[in-house]
Amino acid sequence: MDAMTEKTTHADTVEFYGARVNSRLLLGTAQYPSPAILAEAIRASGTEIVTVSLRRESGVAKSGQSFWQIIRDLGVKVLPNTAGCKTVKEAITTAEMARELFGTPWVKLEVIGEDDTLQPDVFGLVEAARTLVRDGFQVFPYTTEDLVVAEKLISAGCEVLMPWGAPIGSGRGLNNPYGLRSMRAHFPGIPLVVDAGVGVPSHAAAAMEMGYDAVLLNTAVAKAGDPVRMARAFARAIEAGREALIADPMEVRDMAAPSTPVMGRAVLGQ
């Protein structure tokens, strides 16, 4: 990499609610084989933002306290989620508790509408987003690629949108590339993050080539045979996809076009 390219790459940051980060990978912290592997994967990924949640603490195990120590030691920003919430009230209360616990106005807002697909309840999502923004939260809504819902979330005060690639934990990649491309085209000024459903680094690269600002994933890294290596692979794929977008890819065509010059070709037959 020459000095010029390197400079360009480093200047290519992304901003969420005024917070500028270099890494376009947001990483979940659940389902890793061990706390040590979680910490190593976070380091290997280069991520600056990790998602966390709130769960019941037992006075005996106190597992939440040791987890929180690991995250604090890593020095990354945290994005608390409202995972598992099915009603607006539950999501709002969880967000309020998360704000106090983690000391951040950021919240990854999930209002789940359906168990099999963990599909967002977009009606509840918009309602909860409106209330939370009014209450001073900076909301990262986990949504679908529906443009009308997206408009309503923006009207509610969301300055970031996080459409799903595929159902959470499915690893299916980008289920609706057309929908995601439309969304990118409709909201050129809004930071867009593909959240959920990403399975392998090529899915993440594809999202970045489409012009998405970042990718949020968890299971694809945590459930890989070697999560640390996979975290590194995702980091590289996301950088590659972003570089490719900036580099302006060639046009796709239906028929072949020779890449080797035709002019000056020797006549060797006959």
Partner 1 sequence: MKIIVNGEAADTRAGTLAALLAELGLGDAIVATAVNGAMVRAVKREATPIADGDRVEILAPMQGG
Is 13 a binding residue for partner 1 by CB under 8 A? The answer is no
Which one, 55 or 229, has the nearer CB to partner 1? Answer: 55
Distance CA 208, CA 269 (A): 47
Please count the other Cβ atoms lying within 10 Å of the Cβ belonging to residue 251.
4
For partner 1, which residue of 166, 168, 237, 238 counts as binding (CB under 8 A)? 168
Is 36 a binding residue for partner 1 by CB under 8 A? The answer is no
- The least distance separating partner 1 from the CB of residue 166, rounded to whole angstroms, comes to 14
Q: Is 219 annotated as contributing to ligand binding?
A: yes
Which position has the token pair 């991520």? 47
Distance CA 236, CA 14 (A): 16
Distance CA 103, CA 94 (A): 13
Q: Is 113 annotated as contributing to ligand binding?
A: no
For partner 1, which residue of 68, 104, 105, 209 counts as binding (CB under 8 A)? 68
Instruction: Verify whether residue 108 is a known catalytic residue.
Output: yes
Tokens of 146: 């529906």
For partner 1, which residue of 23, 25, 32, 152 counts as binding (CB under 8 A)? 32
Is 12 a binding residue for partner 1 by CB under 8 A? The answer is no
Is 57 a binding residue for partner 1 by CB under 8 A? The answer is yes
Q: How many CA atoms lie within 13 A of 87 on its CB side?
A: 3
Distance CA 204, CA 111 (A): 24
Is 63 a binding residue for partner 1 by CB under 8 A? The answer is yes
- The least distance separating partner 1 from the CB of residue 254, rounded to whole angstroms, comes to 40
Calculate helix-pair angle for 3-11, 227-247, nearest 10 degrees.
100
Is 141 a binding residue for partner 1 by CB under 8 A? The answer is no
Distance CA 220, CA 50 (A): 14
Residues 212-241 that bind partner 1 (CB under 8 A): 218-219
Is 43 a binding residue for partner 1 by CB under 8 A? The answer is no
Q: Is 189 annotated as contributing to ligand binding?
A: no
**Could you give the 3-state DSSP secondary structure of residue 28?**
strand
Which position has the token pair 């890989």? 224
Distance CA 177, CA 197 (A): 13
Contact present, 218 and 30 (Cβ < 8 Å): yes
Using CB under 8 A as the binding criterion, the count of chain residues that bind partner 1 stands at 39
Strand partners, 120: 112
Q: Could you give the residue numbers annotated as active site? A: 108
Residue list for the binding site: 169, 196-197, 218-219
Residue ranges for the known binding site for 1-deoxy-D-xylulose 5-phosphate are: 169, 196-197, 218-219
Interface residues with partner 1 (CB under 8 A) are 28-32, 38, 51-60, 62-65, 67-68, 71, 80-81, 83, 89, 93, 96-98, 100-102, 168-169, 196, 218-219
